[in-house]
Amino acid sequence: MRNLAIIAAVLFLAACGGDEHQDLKAELKNLTNDLRGRIDPLPVVKPYEPVPYRALDLPDPFGSAKIELAIAAAAKSKGGANAPDAARPKEPLEAYPLESLKMVGTLSQKGVTYALVRADSSVYRVKAGNYLGQNFGVITGITDNLINLKELVQDAAGDWTERKIALQIVEAEAAKGR
């Protein structure tokens, strides 16, 4: 029995040792050569060349010198030719924003046309030349259904500019008052 086992082992080893599949092994080796990853070489690094700053004599775009000059010029001119009169006493309707004021009617007495303006729960009588709103709005004219105003507003440069506004009558409020 022992001899039989030795013979079987020798035959088994002889069967595994053949070179019958050399062409398959060569093809497999050829295919696996292509499977390896390729890494591109690193690019050539260009040396850094600093650029010299040549604008030392030009104004600094981030500095406050230009703004300070504009503020100083505005202070000298005191807001320009259209600046409102700061010494003038304020009228009661100048305490309200123009959006909160409502024209509710008109009234004529002795040839003078007045407009009736509601602010909060009070009604005020105004005529041409009176002031309305918080932007120094002066009444330039009154008709049956609107009040024409000229407001003074300050722009970003500090100059005062005129803006024309019309305050129209509120029909629902006018109908209640009749």
Q: Is 138 contained in some domain?
A: yes
What CATH number did the domain enclosing 159 receive?
Answer: 2.30.30.830
* Count of structural domains, the chain: 1
Q: Is 35 contained in some domain?
A: no
In this prediction, residue 36 carries a pLDDT of: 67
* pLDDT of 165 above 90: yes
**Which has more pLDDT, 110 or 81?**
110
In this prediction, residue 105 carries a pLDDT of: 92
- What is the arrangement of strands in the sheet containing 112-119, beginning at the earlier edge strand? 102-109, 112-119, 122-126
pTM of the model: 0.53
Q: Locate 86 and state its tokens.
A: 């700061």
What mean pLDDT is predicted for residues 19-25?
Answer: 75
* pLDDT of 122 above 80: yes
Q: Is 110 contained in some domain?
A: yes
CA-nearest of 84, 103, 91, 98 to 161 is 84
Q: Is 140 contained in some domain?
A: yes
Q: Is 2 contained in some domain?
A: no
pLDDT interval class at 79 (50, 70, 90): low
* pLDDT of 148 above 70: yes
As a whole-number percent, the residues of the chain with pLDDT over 90 amount to 43
Q: Is 151 contained in some domain?
A: yes
* pLDDT of 101 above 90: yes
pLDDT interval class at 177 (50, 70, 90): low
pLDDT interval class at 76 (50, 70, 90): low
Long-range contacts of 14-20 (CB under 8 A, 24+ apart): none
Q: Is 34 contained in some domain?
A: no
Q: Is 7 contained in some domain?
A: no
Q: 116: domain range? A: 92-177
* pLDDT of 178 above 60: no
164: Cβ contacts below 8 Å, ≥ 6 apart: 140, 148, 149, 150, 151
